C-alpha cells in the first residue's frame, strides 16, 4: 500500500518543496484532470486552506511541479555554452550523454507521459512544459552552435533548426519506444555509443565547404 507524505512542521521553503514533491507524484499517478487540490491536501495531511497559502490554484501548483522537474533535468546541461572545449564533436557527445541519461530517468518519463496524455484537454500544460524544459535546452544548444559558427568552425544558415535536429537525433526512435513501454532504458554504454554516433554524424554535416 502506498504511504502518502505528510505535511511536516518545517520552514516555509521546505514545506513548499514538500508540497510540490507530493503533488508531482499524484499528478503523475492520477493525471492532471483527475487530481484536485483536495486530493493533494489529504495526501499531505493538511487542509486546502494551507495548500492555497502556497499555491493559488491547481494550475499554479502544476506549473511549479513541472518547473522543478525540468530544473532537475536541465541543471547538468546548463554549462554547455560556457565550456572551454573547442572540439564541437567532443562537446556534443558529452552533452548528448548527459541529456540522454536525464531523459531516461523515471521522473522525466513521468512528466513526458503526463504532458502527452493531458495536453489535448489542457493545452496550457504543454506550453508550461516547453517553456520550462525543452525550449531552454534548445536555446543552450543553439547558442553553443552560434559560437562555433562565429569562429568559422561550422557553417549553418539555420542554427535553431540544426539544434532541433541534433536533439531529435539524440532522442531518436529509442526514446519513443521507451516512453510507450516497449523498450527498456539503454544502459550507460548504449547511451555513450548513441551520443557519440549522433555527434559525429551531426558535426560532419556542419563542416564548412
Count of alpha carbons within 13 Å of 7, Cβ hemisphere only? 19
Read off the pLDDT band of 142 (50, 70, 90): very high
Q: Which of 80, 89, 115, 99 lies closest to 167, judged by CA? A: 99
Please state the rounded mean pLDDT for residues 62-70.
84
DSSP 184: P
Report the C-alpha gap between 74 and 66 in whole angstroms: 12
What is the grid cell recorded at 108? Answer: 522525466
What is the grid cell recorded at 23? Answer: 503533488
Residues 153-200: tens digit of each pLDDT:
999 999 999 999 999 999 999 998 998 889 999 999 999 999 999 999
What is the grid cell recorded at 130? Answer: 516547453
12-56 placed in CATH 1.10.10.60: yes
Could you tell me if 29 and 117 are in contact, meaning their C-beta atoms sit under 8 angstroms apart?
A: no
Report the C-alpha gap between 46 and 82 in whole angstroms: 44
* Res 8 pLDDT > 60: no
Report the C-alpha gap between 27 and 15 in whole angstroms: 18
152 — alpha (psi -120 to 50), left (phi > 0) or beta? Answer: left
In CATH terms, the fold of domain 67-205 is Tetracycline Repressor; domain 2 (1.10.357)
What is the grid cell recorded at 78? Answer: 546548463
- The boundaries of every CATH 1.10.357.10 domain in the chain are 67-205
Count of CB atoms situated within 10 Å of the CB of 124: 11
Supply the mean pLDDT for the chain: 86
Could you tell me if 137 and 108 are in contact, meaning their C-beta atoms sit under 8 angstroms apart?
A: no
More reliable by pLDDT, 141 or 123: 141
Judged on CB neighbours under 10 Å (0-12, 13-18, 19+), 114 is buried
How long a stretch of residues is the chain? 209
Read off the pLDDT band of 48 (50, 70, 90): confident
- The boundaries of every CATH 1.10.10.60 domain in the chain are 12-56
Q: Which of 119, 163, 115, 167 lies closest to 143, judged by CA? A: 163
Amino acid at each position: 500500500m502506498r504511504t502518502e507524505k505528510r505535511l511536516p512542521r518545517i520552514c516555509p521553503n521546505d514545506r513548499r518543496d514538500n508540497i510540490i514533491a507530493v503533488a508531482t507524484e499524484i499528478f503523475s499517478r492520477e493525471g492532471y484532470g483527475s487530481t484536485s487540490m483536495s486530493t493533494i491536501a489529504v495526501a499531505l495531511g493538511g487542509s486546502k486552506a494551507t495548500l492555497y497559502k502556497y499555491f493559488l490554484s491547481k494550475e499554479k501548483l502544476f506549473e511549479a511541479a513541472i518547473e522543478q522537474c525540468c530544473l532537475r533535468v536541465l541543471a547538468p546541461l546548463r554549462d554547455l555554452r560556457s565550456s572551454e572545449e573547442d572540439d564541437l564533436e567532443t562537446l556534443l557527445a558529452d552533452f548528448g550523454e548527459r541529456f540522454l541519461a536525464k531523459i531516461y530517468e523515471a521522473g522525466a518519463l513521468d512528466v513526458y507521459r503526463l504532458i502527452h496524455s493531458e495536453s489535448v484537454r489542457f493545452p496550457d500544460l504543454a506550453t508550461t512544459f516547453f517553456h520550462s524544459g525543452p525550449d531552454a535546452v534548445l536555446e543552450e544548444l543553439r547558442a553553443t552552435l552560434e559560437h562555433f559558427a562565429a569562429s568559422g568552425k561550422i557553417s549553418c544558415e539555420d542554427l535553431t533548426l540544426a539544434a532541433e535536429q541534433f536533439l531529435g537525433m539524440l532522442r531518436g526512435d529509442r526514446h519513443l519506444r521507451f516512453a510507450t513501454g516497449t523498450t527498456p532504458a539503454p544502459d550507460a554504454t548504449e547511451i555513450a555509443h548513441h551520443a557519440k554516433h549522433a555527434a559525429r554524424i551531426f558535426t560532419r554535416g556542419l563542416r564548412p565547404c
